[in-house]
Amino acid sequence: MALVEVEAVSKNYPRRAGLRAEDQFVVRDVSFQIAEGETLGLVGESGSGKSTVARMILGLVEPTSGVIRVAGVEVGGSRTQSLRRQMQPVFQDPAAALNPRMRVLEIITEPLVIHGKAAGIDTRIPALKAAARALLVSVGLDESALERYPHEFSGGQKQRINIARALALRPQFLVLDEPVSALDVSVGAQIINLLRHLQREHGLTYLFISHSMPLVRYLSTRIAVMEKGRLVEIGEAEALCEHPQEGYTRQLLAATPELPGDHENVTAGWAK
């Protein structure tokens, strides 16, 4: 069953070309579905439209045309608010995504406070602290982090905090927009393996956006390839990587070397 449906979605911005006004398409006529419990990897070079697609799914950018549905509800306008608890983002820069003036306890529990009444969540202080402790443990951190500020953590630890916050409302769907590109290879591999574990544990559905074919291949069930705003190829991850049909896909595979060493072993070391 499809959890996410993207149907003929385009996004353009008006621009002037001399004396003429014309549309500049960032995304053009993109369609795909994401089934419950799967990971769709969305891959392409910078500027290919990947992040714009993600932001339209999250309701942060309105499509020029087309329809997006999550859990059968059309994204857009007031309807999007009811979906906020079901879909959450994890962005590229873990430091920029965390308020430096807030302690980790406040950061992780902020979604619970904002959505608590509508979601029937207990927002009393003891309940919030207990929820924050459990979320930290689930991402491999301990409760000593609760009273600390973001600047006291490494990049990998900051991304774990971001993931904990994303999980606070028990969403069905996470949008992972280049979640390890700001981290070194070994730390990024630990985060990728953590994401795989959490998906199995909670039955999560992922849209995983990256320019790295090896990472996309490792984490994804299927892969969709974007070039200059268009979806040029989509298929099962292994089949697409072994037998790409499009020249652009072959270029991406050739341009991105495999991670050093046995990737299965590299990603096996995250602290449970």
The residue that leads in pLDDT, 54 or 123, is 54
| pLDDT value, residue 21 | 66
C-alpha triplet 246, 91, 226: angle, nearest 5°: 15
For residue 207, what are the β-bridge partners?
40, 175
CB atoms under 10 Å from CB of 83, counted, come to 21
Predicted confidence (pLDDT) at residue 119 exceeds the cutoff of 70: no
Predicted confidence (pLDDT) at residue 114 exceeds the cutoff of 90: no
Kindly list the distances between the CA atom of residue 90 and the CA atoms of 64, 94, 122, 179, 185, in Å, as whole numbers in the listed order: 25, 8, 24, 6, 18
Kindly list the distances between the CA atom of residue 78 and the CA atoms of 4, 40, 62, 125, in Å, as whole numbers in the listed order: 18, 27, 12, 30
Specify the 3-state DSSP secondary structure of 62.
coil
| pLDDT value, residue 74 | 92
Nearest-angstrom CA–CA distance, 139 and 209 = 20
For residue 30, what are the β-bridge partners?
9
Nearest-angstrom CA–CA distance, 95 and 102 = 12
- Please check whether residue 216 is in contact with residue 237, taking contact to mean a CB–CB distance below 8 angstroms: yes
| pLDDT value, residue 85 | 84
Average pLDDT over all residues of the chain:
89
Predicted confidence (pLDDT) at residue 22 exceeds the cutoff of 80: no
Predicted confidence (pLDDT) at residue 70 exceeds the cutoff of 70: yes
| pLDDT value, residue 106 | 96
Tokens standing for residue 132? 């924050």
Q: Which residues are CB-neighbours of 253 under 8 A, at least 6 positions away?
A: 213, 241, 244
Report the predicted TM-score, pTM, of the whole model to 2 decimal places.
0.89
- Percent of the chain beyond pLDDT 90? 72
**What are the residue ranges spanned by the domains of the chain?**
92-170
Tens digits of residue pLDDT in 129-188? 999 999 999 999 999 999 999 999 999 999 999 999 999 999 999 999 999 988 898 999
Q: Compute the average pLDDT of residues 43-48.
A: 92
Kindly list the distances between the CA atom of residue 177 and the CA atoms of 19, 50, 76, 92, 254, in Å, as whole numbers in the listed order: 37, 9, 20, 6, 22
| pLDDT value, residue 182 | 86
Confidence of residue 124 (pLDDT cuts 50, 70, 90): confident
